[in-house]
Amino acid sequence: MQSQDFFSLSSAIIELIQKAAPLIGLALVFILYLWSWRRAGSAFFILQRFWSLLGGNKELSDPDLSEAWKNVKDFYSMRLRTGIKFKSKEHLEQTLAWFKENRIGLEEVMPIRSYFDVDSLAVRDPNLKTKKKENWFLGIILSLAIGPLIVLGIPDRAFLIVKSTDTWFLANKGTAHSWNPFSWSITSDDCNKEIPELLDHDQKVICELITSEDATYIKKTIFQQRAFGVLMGTFAGFLIIGLAIAWSKAKTAHDLRLRIMTKKPEQLLLFP
């Protein structure tokens, strides 16, 4: 039996990841660049790091220029740290004054910045009813898309395909059966018999696989399937947590918007 006779879904995905490994570093840099641009509306700090690597001076000798440059760094630092895209330092100061006027802390707005309109200084309506429907829809799509991949790692059988005939089957040491359990199944004792539902070539290579003494290929494939299933399960877990966080932010934005509209900040309610 040659492993080239079979195609393993999990092995193919893992091999693809291994081949792409050299590009992961570049991908991470690119993702960091996009994250910085999306959060601050600029790649200022990444370009600053690049400038430092090239030997550029961090400080300016002229005091006035140094002060102006410090203001620029402070401005972009606030954009990066808060994720709020202020237009200028003056706009930033006006926004902070509006927060103070409405008894709102900057720390309250940062988590729900996607709902905060910095131009009009208002919290947009998150529309909780629509958000709830979206979460249910995304949850169903997530289950349909990733659920089968997670299930892939549960059974103690290898999911394989005979390359030459495109026959899909599941195998363990001593047994194999079609993906449709009512179609055909075979054990090592059946290998000397003719299985009408199986092509001769398929029966030959499958029998060589399941009668192997050490069943190395099957064990390796099952291990890869389980590793991939755990990976997909972890990924699904993060997505579910992401949906929960998104709902929590929408609820917080809704409550904060009501506070502003009713002019009854929590601080004033606590101290009438």
Q: Is residue 246 scored above 60 in pLDDT?
A: yes
- d(CA 220, CA 44) in angstroms, rounded, equals 47
Q: Is residue 226 scored above 60 in pLDDT?
A: yes
**In the chain, where are the structural domains located?**
1-22+125-272, 42-123
**What pLDDT, in 10s, does the model give residues 60-88?**
677 888 888 788 888 888 888 888 989 89
One-letter amino acid identity for 63?
Answer: P
Tokens of 211: 């009668």
Answer whether 253's CB lies under 8 Å from 124's CB: yes
- d(CA 42, CA 49) in angstroms, rounded, equals 14
Average pLDDT score over residue span 25-30: 75
Answer whether 166's CB lies under 8 Å from 174's CB: no
Average pLDDT score over residue span 13-41: 71
pTM: 0.66
**What pLDDT, in 10s, does the model give residues 256-268?**
999 988 865 444 4
Dihedral (C-alpha) 247, 41, 238, 231: value to the nearest 10 degrees? 160
Which runs of E-coded beta strand occur in 61-213? 116-117, 122-123, 158-162, 167-172, 175-178, 185-187
Spatial neighbors of 18 by CB under 8 A, at least 6 apart, are none
| SS3 state at 158 | strand
